[in-house]
Amino acid sequence: MFKGDFISNLPKIYGTYTGGFLVFVILMAVLEQMGVGADTIGILFVAFTVFIYAAIGFLSRTMEVGAYYVAGRQVPTVFNGMATAADWMSGASFVAMAGGIYFGGHGYLAFVVGWTGGYILVASLMAPYLRKFGCYTVPDFIGTRYGGKLSRFCAVVILVVASFTYVTAQINATGTIAARALQIPFEVGVWFGLLGILLCSMLGGMRAVTWTQVAQYIVLIIAYLVPVFWMSNKQGFGLIPQLVYGDAVARITELEQLHGLGTLEAVSGAAGGLRALTVPYAEAGQGALASWKFVTLVLCMMAGTASLPHILMRYFTTPSVKAARQSVAWSLFFIFLLYCTAPALATFVKLQILDPNLSTSLIGKSITEVNALEWVQKWSNVGFLQVIDANGDGILQLNEFFMRGDIVVLATPEIAGLPYVISGLVAAGGMAAAMSTADGLLLAIANALSHDLYYKIIDPNAETKKRLLVARALLLGIGAAGAFVASLKLTSILGAVAWAFDFACSGLLFPIVLGIWWKRANRQGAIAGMIGGFVAGTWYLYMVRFAGMDPWIGIDHLRFGIIGMPVSLICMVVVSLMTPEPDAEIQAMVDDTRVPAGKTIIEAQAAK
557-607 pLDDT tens trace:
999 999 999 999 999 999 999 999 999 888 888 888 877 666 666 666 656
Residue 431 has pLDDT above 60, yes or no: yes
Q: What pLDDT does 202 receive?
A: 54
Q: What pLDDT does 540 receive?
A: 97
At 387, give phi and psi (nearest 5°).
-115, 125
User: What's 314's DSSP letter?
Assistant: G
Cα(46)–Cα(432) distance, rounded to whole angstroms? Answer: 9
Domain holding 426, by residue range, is: 37-61+83-257+279-357+410-498
User: pLDDT band for position 319 (50/70/90)?
Assistant: low
Residue 204 has pLDDT above 50, yes or no: no
Domain presence at residue 156: yes
Domain presence at residue 315: yes
Cα(38)–Cα(420) distance, rounded to whole angstroms? Answer: 6
Please, are residues 168 and 159 in contact by the beta-carbon 8 Å criterion? no
Cα(517)–Cα(90) distance, rounded to whole angstroms? Answer: 30
Domain presence at residue 394: no
Strand, helix or coil for residue 395: strand
Residue 166 has pLDDT above 80, yes or no: yes
Domain presence at residue 494: yes
For the chain, the straight-line distance linking the first and the last C-alpha, in angstroms and rounded, comes to 46
* Nearest-10 crossing angle of helices 523-545, 561-578: 160
Q: What is the mean pLDDT of the chain?
A: 80
Beta-bridge partners for 275: 403
Domain presence at residue 380: no
The percent of residues in the chain predicted with pLDDT above 70, rounded, is 83
> Which residue type does 434 have?
A
pTM over 0.85: no
Domain presence at residue 475: yes
User: pLDDT band for position 207 (50/70/90)?
Assistant: low
Cα(455)–Cα(68) distance, rounded to whole angstroms? Answer: 15
Q: What is the mean pLDDT of residues 341-349?
A: 87
Element (H, E) at 385: strand 385-387
Lowest-confidence range among 72-76, 257-261, 266-270, 585-589?
266-270
Beta-bridge partners for 386: 402
Please, are residues 232 and 348 in contact by the beta-carbon 8 Å criterion? yes
User: pLDDT band for position 65 (50/70/90)?
Assistant: very low
Strand, helix or coil for residue 401: strand
Domain presence at residue 122: yes
Q: What pLDDT does 543 receive?
A: 95
- CA of 558: how far to CAs of 34, 287, 300, 537, in Å? 48, 19, 9, 11
More confident of the two residues 606 and 221: 221
CATH number of 452's domain: 1.20.1730.10
- Which of 260-272 are b and which e, b meaning 16 or more Cβ less than 10 Å from the residue's Cβ? ebbeeeebeebee
Cα(318)–Cα(569) distance, rounded to whole angstroms? Answer: 30
Cα(498)–Cα(183) distance, rounded to whole angstroms? Answer: 29
Cα(369)–Cα(85) distance, rounded to whole angstroms? Answer: 41
Domain presence at residue 202: yes
Per-residue pLDDT tens over the stretch 181-192? 777 788 888 887
- DSSP tally for the chain: helices H, then strands E: 28, 2
Lowest-confidence range among 11-25, 134-148, 227-241, 540-554?
134-148
Please, are residues 564 and 507 in contact by the beta-carbon 8 Å criterion? yes
Tally the domains of the chain. Answer: 1
